[in-house]
A and B are shown apart, each in its own frame.
Chain A
Amino acid sequence: MSSAMLDLILQATLDTLYMVAISGMISTLLGVPLGVMLYVTRPRQILAMPVLNQVLSIVTNIGRSIPFIILMVAIIPFTRMLVGTSIGINAASVPLTIAAIPFVARLVEGALNELSPGLVEAAQSMGATPWQIVRKVLLPEARGGIITGLTITVVTLVSYSAMAGAVGGGGLGDLGIRYGYNRFNPTIMVITVVILVVMVQGFQSLGDYLVRKSDRK
Chain B
Amino acid sequence: MIYLENISKTYGVGANTVHALQNVNLHIPQGKIHGVIGLSGAGKSTLIRCVNLLERPSAGKVSVDGQDMTALSPQALNKARHRIGMIFQHFNLLTSRTVFDNIALPLELMGETRSTIRQRVGPLLELVGLVDKANQYPAQLSGGQKQRVAIARALASKPNVLLCDEATSALDPQTTGSILELLRDINKKLGLTILLITHEMEVVKSICHRVSLISDGELVEDAEVGDFFTAPRTQLGREFLNDFLQLEPPKELIERLSPDAGTHTHPVVRLTFSGDAVSTPLISRLARECEVDVSILQAKVESIQDRTLGLMIAELLGTPQQTRDAMAYLESHQLQIEVLGHVQRNA
Contacts and interface: CB of A to CB of B under 8 A. Distances in A.
A137 B82 contact: no
A127 B137 contact: no
Interface stretch (B63-71, B105-113, B275-283, B327-335): B105-113
A125 B84 contact: yes
A124 B54 CA distance: 7
Contacts of B157: 126-127
Interface of B: 52, 54, 77-82, 84-86, 88, 90, 92, 94-97, 105-106, 108-110, 137-139, 153, 157, 163
Nearest to A139: B96
Interface string A24-57: 0000000000000000000000000000000000
Interface centre among B94, B97, B139, B153, by most chain A C-beta atoms within 10 angstroms, is B94
B139 A126 contact: no
Contacts of B78: 127-129
A214 B163 CA distance: 32
A8 to B, nearest CB: 45
Interface stretch (A115-123, A154-162, A168-176, A183-191): A115-123
Contacts of B81: 124-127
A132 interface: yes
Contacts of B97: 140
A122 B86 contact: yes
A214 B92 contact: no
B12 to A, nearest CB: 13
B95 A122 contact: no
A118 B95 CA distance: 12
Please list the 6 inter-chain residue pairs (A to B) with the smallest Cβ-Cβ separation, ordered nearest first.
Answer: A127-B81, A122-B92, A127-B78, A125-B86, A118-B92, A126-B106
A80 interface: no
Contacts of B82: 126-127
What is the size category of the interface that chain A forms with chain B? 20 to 34
A143 B106 contact: no
A125 B54 contact: yes
Interface centre among A118, A126, A214, by most chain B C-beta atoms within 10 angstroms, is A126
A148 to B, nearest CB: 15
A97 B92 CA distance: 37
11 contacts: A116-B92, A121-B92, A125-B84, A126-B153, A127-B82, A136-B105, A136-B108, A140-B96, A140-B97, A216-B139, A217-B95
Contact of B94 (A121, A125, A132, A141): A141
Nearest to A214: B96
A216 B96 contact: yes
Contacts of B95: 141, 216-217
Interface of A: 116, 118-119, 121-129, 132, 136-137, 140-141, 143, 214, 216-217
A119 B153 CA distance: 13
A141 B78 CA distance: 22
Nearest to B86: A125
Contacts, number: 65
Contacts of A122: 86, 88, 92
A214 B80 CA distance: 34
Contacts of B52: 125
B90 A118 contact: yes
Interface centre among A125, A136, A214, by most chain B C-beta atoms within 10 angstroms, is A125
B88 A121 contact: yes
A116 B94 CA distance: 10
A126 B92 contact: no
A95 B178 CA distance: 60
A128 B92 CA distance: 15
Contacts of A124: 54, 81
Contacts of A123: 105, 109
A122 to B, nearest CB: 4
Given A125-B54, A126-B82, A140 B94 contact: yes
Contacts of A140: 94, 96-97
Contacts of A121: 54, 88, 92
Nearest to A137: B94
B252 to A, nearest CB: 47
A127 B79 contact: yes
Contacts of A143: 96
Nearest to B111: A132
B271 to A, nearest CB: 45
A100 to B, nearest CB: 26
Contacts of B106: 126-127
B54 A119 contact: no
Nearest to B109: A128
A72 B230 CA distance: 78
A119 B163 CA distance: 16
B168 to A, nearest CB: 16
Contacts of A137: 94
Nearest to B94: A141
A143 B95 CA distance: 11
Given A126-B157, A216-B139, 16 more contacts: A116-B92, A121-B88, A121-B92, A122-B88, A123-B109, A125-B54, A125-B86, A126-B86, A126-B106, A127-B79, A127-B82, A127-B109, A128-B78, A136-B108, A216-B95, A217-B139
Contacts of A132: 109
A141 B96 contact: yes
